[in-house]
Amino acid sequence: MSQKSKIILVTLGEELLLGLTPNGHLTYIGDQLRQAGNAMHANITISDSPEDIEDNFDLYWKKADVLITTGGLGPTVDDRTKEVIAQCLGETLVYDPTVMKAIEDRFAALNLVVSENNRKQAFHFENAEVLHNENGTAPGLWLEKDGKILVMLPGPPHELQPMFNEQVLPRFLEKGIVQEKENYIQIRTTGIGESNLETLLQPIAEREDGLELAYCAHPGMVDFRMSFPNLINPYDRLAELAEECKSLLGDNFLTTGNETILDIVSRIMRRKKLKLSTVESCTGGYISNEITNLAGSSEYFVGGMATYSIGSKEDLISVPSDLIQQHDVVSEEVATAMAIGVAERLETDYSISTTGYIGPGGGTERDPVGTVYVGIHTPSKTYAKRFSLRGPRVAQKRRVFNLAVDMLRKELLGL
């Protein structure tokens, strides 16, 4: 099997099409294959009804070198996936007493009685290998046929993921379907939009023969991936190009790989034993929540406040009420006072403050809806910057978070 086997994923399940369950298998398996150097070619999501499987199976079996299916292996009478696919492939279903015993043992250990329905889960294709399910009843299947590979995996994520990791990926590696090492470099940027980034990289794109560039925008960051699909060993050239891009990007360079802005801030603060506090008005706890989502945050994050009312700002962090009256609660002056106030109250080296109108109501002539001030306090100074944002409330909170954390990152790096 060549290194670039075409892998297609068929995710079965009406709940996916009805939007009841997110298609986590696409994200998980896609990520695993990406890391292993052979990106998924396509994904199709259909119901697990016999009609829909019959309609689609042959087409995708023909297109793919490797076909992975997820779901449809349950015990209920409407789980007929194995029967239908067996028919499409001309495979016989055989009963496997070893599998039945494993199912019986599992039920016994959970003090449950095996249902008659579970019996059908002990059937598999005559020519297939069984992938034992440590975390559920339905085993997976591995079938080599017509120079292709079919992998059938159970639906529940906590059953699929260990099975994929422990049994499928090693077989893929053995067969050369995936590699040990990633064949591209990703560079993560901040503060530069996708179109301006493309313009910046144009000279490199034109100069490098065979270079492929792909972009992916995230909130607050734009990634681009460089690869040389036709080179066997692109690694040195990629490393050189990465250095060149890093210089070209200057302050807009964030990292190679997948660290986020917050990952970087967290790493620096912990290494330098610095402390951080936050006081948020319009973002209402979004920032402290994001910070405390990362393990290790308790090493540097002392605490935060969501001072949603004007009173709580005066009360909790001693923002002078005449300052608020004179400049308006949404102002550079109040954002600065809030940042100093919380840093003093909680005795931290750094702090972040936010105050703004993120809608739907609010806004003044000077600062219409969408205006947000972000304050930063450092050991040497305190200041606030004004931003004009658009979009729904939650999107604006996210944007403010990204802007605030990037301001902090720049302070920490002396940029």
Q: Which contiguous run of DSSP H or E holds residue 239?
A: helix 235-249
**Least distance from C-beta 303 to its own copies, angstroms?**
4
Give the pair of three-digit tokens for residue 264: 């970087």
Q: Which of 130, 255, 234 is nearest to 190 (CA)?
A: 255
- Residue with smaller CB distance to its own copies, 298 or 321: 298
Residues 133 and 154 sit within 8 Å (Cβ to Cβ): yes
Three-class secondary structure of residue 287 per DSSP? helix
Hey, what amino acid is at 303? G
Q: Output Rg (C-alpha) for the chain, integer angstroms.
A: 27
- Residue with smaller CB distance to its own copies, 361 or 414: 361
CB atoms within 10 A of CB 120: 19
- Residue with smaller CB distance to its own copies, 127 or 390: 390
Can you tell me the distance from the alpha carbon of 223 to that of 87, in angstroms, rounded to the nearest whole number?
44
Q: According to DSSP H, which parts of 272-320 are helical?
A: 286-293, 310-317
Can you tell me the distance from the alpha carbon of 141 to that of 120, in angstroms, rounded to the nearest whole number?
14
In DSSP terms, which residues pair with 124 in a beta bridge? Answer: 94
Q: Which of 300, 305, 313 is nearest to 349 (CA)?
A: 300
- Residue with smaller CB distance to its own copies, 395 or 413: 395
Quickly count helices (H) and strands (E) in the chain.
15, 17
**Least distance from C-beta 187 to its own copies, angstroms?**
14
- Residue with smaller CB distance to its own copies, 141 or 358: 358
- Residue with smaller CB distance to its own copies, 56 or 87: 56
**Least distance from C-beta 160 to its own copies, angstroms?**
12
Angle, vertex CA 279, rays to CA 276 and CA 282, nearest 5: 140
Burial of 245 by CB count in 10 Å (0-12 exposed, 13-18 middle, 19+ buried)? buried
**Least distance from C-beta 206 to its own copies, angstroms?**
11
- Residue with smaller CB distance to its own copies, 196 or 321: 196
**Least distance from C-beta 214 to its own copies, angstroms?**
6
Can you tell me the distance from the alpha carbon of 25 to that of 17, in angstroms, rounded to the nearest whole number?
14
Can you tell me the distance from the alpha carbon of 332 to that of 111, in angstroms, rounded to the nearest whole number?
64
Can you tell me the distance from the alpha carbon of 293 to that of 139, in angstroms, rounded to the nearest whole number?
35
CA 159 to chain CA mean position, Å: 20
**Least distance from C-beta 47 to its own copies, angstroms?**
8
**Least distance from C-beta 90 to its own copies, angstroms?**
24
**Least distance from C-beta 127 to its own copies, angstroms?**
28
**Least distance from C-beta 126 to its own copies, angstroms?**
25
**Least distance from C-beta 305 to its own copies, angstroms?**
5
**Least distance from C-beta 282 to its own copies, angstroms?**
8
DSSP 122: G
- Residue with smaller CB distance to its own copies, 116 or 236: 116
- Residue with smaller CB distance to its own copies, 42 or 413: 42
- Residue with smaller CB distance to its own copies, 147 or 360: 360
CB atoms within 10 A of CB 350: 21
- Residue with smaller CB distance to its own copies, 32 or 378: 32
In sequence order, which residues have a C-beta less than 8 Å from that of residue 192 and are 6 or more positions away? 200, 222, 249, 252
